[in-house]
């Protein structure tokens, strides 16, 4: 029973829909924006050389990887 629920949640998470695509796109835009704002704040206002890698990794690695896995999963699940 628990395995069936886990498989259903996994299927719900990786099956791509327009709503999930829009949410991921908004998260991507927010991650890029906030990464740039944090960098600008530390360098421009505080004068400290600082790189913020977490939001950058979300925008460059996590979200594109999620899209790739979701598209492949949705195509395999559809067949």
* Confidence band for 55, pLDDT divided at 50, 70 and 90: confident
Instruction: State the angle between helix axes of 2-14 and 63-78 in degrees (0 to 180), rounded to the nearest 10.
Output: 110
Between 38 and 79, residue with greater pLDDT: 38
Examine the pLDDT at 65 and tell me if it is beyond 80: yes
CA 26 to chain CA centroid, Å, is 9
Between 49 and 78, residue with greater pLDDT: 49
pTM of this prediction?
0.74
Q: Which percentage of the chain shows pLDDT scores above 90?
A: 10
Structure tokens at 26: 């908004």
Examine the pLDDT at 38 and tell me if it is beyond 70: yes
């Amino acid at each position: 029973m628990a395995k069936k629920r886990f498989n259903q949640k996994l299927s719900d998470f990786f099956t791509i829909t327009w709503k999930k695509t829009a949410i991921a796109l908004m998260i991507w835009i927010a991650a890029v924006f906030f990464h740039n704002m944090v960098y600008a704040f530390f360098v421009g206002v505080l004068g400290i050389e600082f790189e913020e890698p977490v939001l950058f990794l979300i925008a460059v690695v996590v979200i594109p990887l999620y899209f790739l896995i979701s598209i492949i999963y949705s195509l395999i699940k559809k067949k």
